Structure 1
């Protein structure tokens, strides 16, 4: 764990109770005199270092030692436009995408998206919170919904599309936004709409699931 999110981070004294106490003392085995790093969830660019002053078996008292502006993230931004898939599929790979530094994901209802799928941003944020504490990332991943594919392209005219085509994804220079289809890929109407976009494919004869494509694109471009 690189730090712990806490709503009182930044205060001269912080009391850890409940799950925060169990995690720091029971799981992470911090004892009196140890340093504990905290960030505030609404001002995550500042890292606060506390000293664990005392612990009584139910709560721990922390004393502020120092603070610094410390932003940690990917060296370059990457935005994913993702046609809606089963939220459970997103949840499985969200920690990996967060660790690799994806700046944001825009979910789009595409022709082959199942209409009952709705992104659960509250649950996604909890997943991201746990991932950030583990990997050290300080900046929250942006999450949003686009009203339509047309609206997404209007807002992101330099989008690169991942689809079945001749050109393979090799040189990633200048790629800031990638569009990934849902299970079943893009419809013919959508491919017509995307005709003016640069379209690339992975150098593999195998068909990737939508979430696999998201992780592969992130790794290829960011790592």
Structure 2
């Protein structure tokens, strides 16, 4: 774990309980040990010392702070909603790679019974940031359908079979990845610009979005 997240980071004293306290127990933290704590808001790195430790909580005292190097993350991706269990497993990897914003929507082939729990996704993202050292949480947006995304974003392109080679992508458009089964013909007709990955195999939705993110950011 690179650091610990807390909304109270910056206060002179912090009391850690429940899940946050469990992180310290797993690390076998000791009295007097110093802990890096961040709040994802002010770009600061707060160093606390464990001043009190018992079986259910820990009290931290602020020692000093310093600025964390800012991250210029400006790459967003659209992703048709698929099985939420698959989304949750893929989310940490997209966060680690450096995707700034993930824009979910229900495509024609999405199963409408899959519901996004933004609070749960935020907890997963916080844990991912603590592990990889990212000093910001990937943003999450949810739209009802592709039409709403087209209204909200000016330049949109599909990642789809028959598109131009992805090597021609210049990061001017918001890339949209479809669900298992791809896009419907109606959706394809709504967006003229399309890119295709250089793969002979049919990729799963989560494989495609990880491949796109890696090609652009890594």
Normalising by the residue count of structure 1, what TM-score does the alignment of the two structures yield? 0.88
Q: Paired residue for 2:213?
A: 218
Residue pairs, 1:151-170, within 5 angstroms: 151-170=148-167
Residue pairs, 1:72-87, within 5 angstroms: 72-73=70-71, 75-87=72-84
Aligned to 1:119, what secondary structure does the other structure show? coil
Residue pairs, 1:54-203, within 5 angstroms: 54-70=52-68, 72-73=70-71, 75-175=72-172, 177-195=174-192, 197=193, 199-203=194-198
Distance 1:153 1:30 in 2: 49
For structure 1, the 5+ residue unaligned runs are none
How big is the shift at 1:86? Answer: 1.3
Query: Which residue, out of 52, 58, 72, partners 2:50?
Result: 52
Distance 2:170 2:27 in 1: 40
Q: Paired residue for 1:16?
A: 16
Alpha-carbon distance change, 46 to 153 in structure 1, aligned in 2, over 3 angstroms: same
Distance 2:64 2:177 in 1: 43
Alpha-carbon distance change, 121 to 56 in structure 1, aligned in 2, over 3 angstroms: closer
For structure 2, the 5+ residue unaligned runs are none
**What is the CA deviation profile of residues 129-187 of structure 1, one whole-angstrom value per residue up to 9, with x for unaligned ones?**
11111111122211111233122123222223210015221254334521001111111
Normalising by the residue count of structure 2, what TM-score does the alignment of the two structures yield? 0.90
Structure 2 contact 157–191 (Cα < 8 Å) conserved: no
Structure 1 vs Structure 2 CA RMSD = 2.0
Alpha-carbon distance change, 152 to 2 in structure 1, aligned in 2, over 3 angstroms: same
Structure 2 contact 77–101 (Cα < 8 Å) conserved: yes
Deviates further, 93-102 or 15-24 = 15-24
**What is the CA deviation profile of residues 170-209 of structure 1, one whole-angstrom value per residue up to 9, with x for unaligned ones?**
25433452100111111111111112x2x11111110111
How big is the shift at 1:91? Answer: 0.6
